[in-house]
Amino acid sequence: MTRRRDPWLRPGRHSVVTGGSSGLGLEISRQLVARGVSVTLLARDESRLAAAAESLRARAASGTEVGTLSVDIGDADGVVGALGTLAGTHPFELLVNSAGIMREGYFETLPATAFTEVMDINFHGTVKVIRAALPHLPHPGGRIVTIASIAGLTGVFGYTPYCAAKHALVGFTDALRFELEPQGLEIHLICPGEFDSPLVAALDATRTPENRAHTLTIPKVDVAQIATQTLDAVDSGREQVIPGRIPALMSAGRRLFPATGRMIGRRKIAAVYRGPRTSRRP
Ligand SMILES: NC(=O)c1ccc[n+]([C@@H]2O[C@H](COP(=O)([O-])OP(=O)(O)OC[C@H]3O[C@@H](n4cnc5c(N)ncnc54)[C@H](OP(=O)(O)O)[C@@H]3O)[C@@H](O)[C@H]2O)c1
């Protein structure tokens, strides 16, 4: 649902961006800073955080601050402590949840830890951050963004852990929206298709050919466009965005004609099918 209203993002506001040191989180942070919104980047690796913050500060107008928090979103106490301390000195009104990891492979050969790791970070980690941030967001007026994926709306070859976690995140976000709305808080769900980032560069080194063929049924969208559409959703109050015109149209097509969507996917997969490395077939 889109409502007409004044842009919500404006100089003087402060945001926290998980995964802000890389990829989409970094690009969203860049665009927030360009709009005069102060940003605190949250991720684990301190040197990547410092480099990202430095690159943003170089472009920030005076009065726009860039800070960092080195926290593992899997550590509930660490997240509660870090966000509580931050809110005491730098109250924030926007939380963007972009932190995420990837494990891809044939279900039969993926280690069991792939499922626990991906669920722990992409789903439980995001829930932990939202739970910790909620008491500090203004009621009414606070805004939350969850970065899910098209893989949270449909199945993708090789993504059994990732799809499970992103589907959970989509359901969580849709349910939480009903609870936050009466308190004057908004939550925006962003479901991008594949885009170039360090996560995808690492994935490319090991991914199955079936995953590559199936994923790229939907063309890649530039990360800058995804970030712009994310921030436009915050400004306009849009609840859910599938960034890019073609991915949005293709997703709508899949919802309306699921059998056709599955047929196209099956054909793409069949053209390159290699199967699990250790086949258990007789
Ligand atoms: N790239 C795609 O094609 C694509 C498509 C759809 C959706 N997405 C989603 O978009 C989001 C961003 O992806 P990306 O491609 O931009 O990934 P990326 O470049 O790998 O960035 C991931 C960020 O998350 C942080 N992070 C990972 N684990 C963390 C943890 N346990 N605690 C705190 N921070 C953590 C990383 O920093 P540290 O490692 O230093 O902690 C990094 O800043 C993810 O949620 C991903 O699932 C990506």
Q: In this model, does residue 281 exceed pLDDT 70?
A: no
Q: Determine if ligand 1 sits within 6 Å of the CB of residue 192.
A: yes
- Give CA–CA dist 57/65, Å, rounded: 7
Within 8 A by CB and 6+ apart from 255, the residues are none
> What's the predicted TM-score (pTM) here?
0.96
pLDDT the model gives residue 277: 61
What gap in Å lies between CA 79 and CA 76, rounded to an integer? 5
Over 80: is that where the pLDDT of 196 sits?
A: yes
Assigned token pair, 187: 């939550």
State the Cα angle at 74 between 69 and 80, rounded to 5°: 55
**Active-site entry in 106, 159, 162, 273:** 162
Contact 73, 101 (CB under 8 A): no
Beta strands 94-97; 66-70: pairing state:
unpaired
Ligand 1 atom at minimum distance from 73 CA: 32
pLDDT tens per residue across span 27-40: 999 999 999 999 99
Round the CA-based radius of gyration of the chain to a whole number and report it: 19
Predicted confidence at residue 124, as pLDDT, reads 98
14-196+219-244, what's its fold?
A: Rossmann fold (3.40.50)
At 56-84, the pLDDT tens digits run 999 999 999 999 999 999 999 999 999 99
Provide the residue ranges of all domains of the chain, joining segments of one domain with +: 14-196+219-244
| pLDDT tens track for 75-132 | 999 999 999 999 999 999 999 999 999 999 999 999 999 999 999 999 999 999 999 9
Using 50, 70 and 90 to split pLDDT, how confident is the model at 5?
Answer: confident
Q: From the CB of 147, is ligand 1 less than 6 Å away?
A: yes
Q: Is the CB of 194 under 6 A from ligand 1?
A: yes
Task: Answer yes or no: is the C-beta of 25 below 6 A from any ligand 1 atom.
Answer: yes
Closest CA to 104 of 161, 145, 62: 161
Q: Which of 97, 121, 189, 199 to mutate to test the pocket of ligand 1 (most atoms within 8 A of CB)?
A: 199
- Mean pLDDT computed over 179-188: 98
Q: What percent of the chain is modeled with pLDDT above 90?
A: 94
99 lines ligand 1 (CB under 6 A): yes
Q: Respond yes or no: is residue 106 known to be catalytic.
A: no
Q: Where are the alpha helices (DSSP H) in 134-244?
A: 160-180, 198-206, 209-215, 223-236
CA of 79 to the centre of ligand 1 (A): 17
Measure the CA–CA gap between 110 and 157, rounded to whole angstroms. 13
Token pair in block for residue 188: 């925006």
Q: Is residue 282 pLDDT above 60, yes or no?
A: no
The token pair at 77 is 């106490």
